[in-house]
């Protein structure tokens, strides 16, 4: 009688462990998908900014080598990320009512 009870409870515990690990896997997968979407949006914004900057310089993408373009795009990505950080900080300070620090 006791052995049957132990078997059933151990089976239930194993099922609970599997569901628990699956839920964390789901959260991790969704987190990675969200990061990928954000990275893609930042990449697109950086590329758009780079095209605008090249138009101001009266240059085209074909004027640069692949390595030079990678450097230019990475610099633009850094600018976009810094801009997002600044906007987030200003929004957080405004939300807290600390607009005198802005």
CA count, 13 A, side-chain hemisphere, 16? 6
Interhelix angle 66-95/2-56, nearest 10 degrees: 110
Q: Are 61 and 69 in contact (CB under 8 A)?
A: yes
Judged by phi (left if over 0) then psi (alpha if -120 to 50, else beta), residue 65 lies in: beta
- pTM exceeding 0.75: no
* Rounded Cα distance, 66 and 62, in Å: 9
**Per-position pLDDT tens, the chain of length 102:** 566 666 666 766 767 667 666 666 677 778 888 999 999 999 999 999 999 999 999 998 899 999 999 999 999 999 999 999 999 888 888 888 876 665
């Amino acid at each position: 009688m006791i052995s049957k009870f132990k078997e059933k409870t151990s089976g239930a515990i194993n099922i609970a462990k599997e569901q628990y690990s699956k839920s964390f896997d789901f959260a991790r997968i969704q987190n990675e998908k969200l990061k990928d979407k954000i990275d893609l949006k930042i990449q697109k914004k950086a590329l758009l900014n780079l095209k605008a900057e090249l138009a101001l310089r009266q240059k085209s993408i074909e004027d640069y080598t692949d390595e030079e373009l990678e450097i230019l795009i990475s610099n633009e990505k850094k600018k976009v990320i810094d801009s997002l950080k600044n906007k987030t900080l200003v929004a957080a300070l405004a939300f807290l009512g600390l607009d005198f620090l802005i």
